[in-house]
Amino acid sequence: MSASASPVPAVGIDFGTTNSVVARTAGDGAVDLAEFAAPGQTGSVFRSALCFWQEDAVRGGLAHEAGPWAIAEFLGFPQGSRFIQSFKSVAASTTFEHAQIFTKRLRFEDLGRTFLEHLTAHAGDTLRNLPERIVVGRPVRYVGARPDPALAATRYGAMFAGLGREIHYVYEPLGAAYSFASRLTDPATLLVADFGGGTSDFSIVRVEAPDAPRRCVPLASAGVGIAGDRFDFRIMDQLVLPLLGKGGTYRSFDKVLEIPPGHFADFSDWSRLALMRNKRTLDQLAKLRHAATDPAAIDRMIAVVEQELGYGLYEAIGAVKRALSSQAHASFTFEGEGLSVTAEVSRADFERWIAPDLAELERGVDRVLARAGLAADNIDHVFVTGGSSLIPAVRQLFERRFGESRIASGDELTSIAHGLALIGSAPDLAEWTVEEVEEA
């Protein structure tokens, strides 16, 4: 952020695991967020989701939509469509080769280009006549036990090539830092904690006075491959899966054995759960139901898979998670064809389930401070952003380390795109782009 040079037009794209946001500067320093006139409501947040269905009149026989339109299509015709969400989470996965969508095999970049095609179309004027500068956010650390950043870079490159512009990549928390820095009037050292759907990333930036030649200087970044989706799965694993048979038993000849946990592995993230509806899986579950000591629980599991109820199930989990951010107890209720489950959950339960994840987040904060050569007392402001920043236990982690008075929040879903657009319009863009990879 330089005070001495005029800004240039740029577009910032926050391609998120759960949501995506697009911002644009026109060269006057002002930032406009793309608005999407989605079914039900207009807003600046575009769900990172795809829906496919077969249609003979469409070239290739495969029709598709994205964002809230994808959700509407899926809810209108669930048994005849395939719904894909959180596909960003496989960007750095060497084990993911393609998604089987009816008779077609779609690679990550195929899914990404299809998603961008619809995002661009629904964004209206914001993505028409694109400027030369396109800035895309990327995680500091990708999701997965052994993510391959080079593979993710290749896939991102293929995905965004269709925009026809040179793409500049910037760490996502640096976008949020740049956005927050535009509010400050005095020099400060700023720590940003960005909690997305798949990753939690941290950056430290030195902010100089508004008239300084270099307003912002990035000092260090670090990341953890866990965030909102992991918290959702903790609820799925601890609260919901026991109702679907996890921890139960089955009969094998004269023995009673525990149901193998592998039957529930694909519930760990949405992109895998959405693909479970196939003959092989359903045949395996039918055999399990026949042998189970509690066949009703397996019936519920089969209903989730066969009726493709995963979307609604995860929506109900997300609703409970949000409720526990403002109240001490919440009710989990979900009903679908062939399935009805109800359970009570407390905030204390939820915090116990995510305790290992909170410890990982704290280690991420330790790493970014160490890389910057700073102690907690050297940080003047802490900006927490992203949906999971609203979880009380997450916020308390930072309050304990830095003190409540230094914590700020707001624009939880749009600050990254806003900052990426500002970075793109600045003359020192090259100082913010990143090519190096995050080490575990």
The C-alpha atoms of residue 57 and residue 33 are separated, in whole angstroms, by 35
Q: What's the pLDDT band for 5 if we cut at 50, 70, 90?
A: low
Question: Is the predicted pLDDT of residue 1 greater than 70, yes or no?
Answer: no
Tokens representing residue 306 in the block: 């066969």
The C-alpha atoms of residue 74 and residue 50 are separated, in whole angstroms, by 9
The C-alpha atoms of residue 157 and residue 127 are separated, in whole angstroms, by 18
25-34, 214-223, 249-258: segment of lowest average pLDDT: 25-34
For residue range 281-338, list pLDDT tens digits in order: 889 999 999 999 999 999 999 988 888 787 788 889 999 999 999 999 999 999 887 7
Select from 169, 194, 175 the least CA-distant residue to 435. Answer: 169
pTM of the model: 0.85
Give residues with Cβ within 8 angstroms of 173, minimum separation 6. Answer: 140, 192, 193, 194, 201, 202, 203, 221, 416
Question: Is the predicted pLDDT of residue 185 greater than 60, yes or no?
Answer: yes
- Say what percent of the chain tops pLDDT 70: 95
